[in-house]
Amino acid sequence: MLFRQLIEPDSCTYTYLLACQETGEAILIDPVIDTVERDLELLQKLGLKPSYTLETHIHADHLTGARKMRELAGSKIVVPEMDQLECADLGVKEGVAFRVGSIEIQPLYTPGHTDTHHAYLVDDGTQKLLFSGDALLIEACGRTDFQSGDPQILYRSITEKFFNLADETLVYPGHDYEGRQISTIGQEKQRNPRLSGKTEAEFIEIMNNLNLPYPRKIDFAVPGNQMCGKCPANVPEQYQGPCEIINKKGDQG
């Protein structure tokens, strides 16, 4: 398996490129509209076919690049089945593996940050890789104060699903705001200040008192991502540049 970790700096979002080296098929987990051209250049450089994009959840801090990638490269949009997005091509659910060539991706239903959040587990034959989305971050976790977030449910998703994985499982989060790239399940059990040694009640208390600022892109990101990355009319001018899509016929849309 070929693997790359990519970053979109404005929202500190990680996009993950996984590719089957036998078939050349590639999948991008959580692509961002701002970096679609960069991702396509990398795929071309590596001689890979952009077959799929895969979302962990409906994001509030950026617009997904799924629709733009489909317009420009013909990739299929894959989302958690329970999101029921008409714009998606395929849905995934826990218990049913999704395959990209020889790569088997196991969806894990991990609500709490959002009510339909999914993480993805991949065994590359040497290591197990967990793409945890926004549910579990490095020494942190996703916030629970909007989009049907629920700290009790998130605590159970993390402790009952993630923390039951082997300690050596590599954790690749959806974001990191301090330049960190990777963790492990064992490290998060020991060092995550919101979770290590914390009861469910203590975790809920922590999450209910974070007092985080209102997400600056949420008002257009959520409705746009419910349309797989179509830019709604209320996108502020400073964020409109990546919304321009040149499709295969050269038309703007």
Q: Supply the pLDDT for residue 105.
A: 98
Sign of CA pseudo-dihedral 17, 22, 24, 27 = negative
Stated as kind and residue range, the H or E segment containing 66 is helix 66-73
Q: Quick count: other Cβ atoms within 10 Å of Cβ 37?
A: 13
User: What are the domain boundaries of the chain?
Assistant: 2-211
* Nearest Cα to Cα of residue 92 among 133, 128, 44: 133
d(CA 201, CA 199): 5
Give me the sign of the Cα torsion angle 11, 84, 171, 134: positive
Asked if 167 and 210 count as a contact pair (C-beta separation under 8 A), the reply is no
pTM score: 0.95
Q: pLDDT tens-digit profile of 181-214?
A: 999 999 999 999 999 999 999 999 999 999 999 9
pLDDT of residue 148: 94
For 2-211, CATH number out of 3.60.15.10, 3.40.50.300, 3.40.640.10, 2.60.120.260 equals 3.60.15.10
What number is the average pLDDT over the span 107-136?
A: 97
Q: What percent of the chain has pLDDT over 70?
A: 97
* Average of per-residue pLDDT values in the chain: 95
* Residue range 170-187: mean pLDDT, rounded: 98
Indicate the pLDDT class of residue 115, thresholds 50, 70 and 90: very high
Q: How confident is the model at residue 133 (pLDDT cuts 50, 70, 90)?
A: very high
Q: How many helices (H) and strands (E) does the chain have?
A: 6, 14
**Tokens 């009640």, residue?**
201
Helix (H, G, I), strand (E, B) or coil at 157: helix
How do residues 15-63 score in pLDDT, each as one tens digit? 999 999 999 999 999 999 999 999 999 999 999 999 999 999 999 999 9
Please report which confidence band the pLDDT of residue 244 belongs to, taking 50, 70 and 90 as the band edges.
Answer: confident
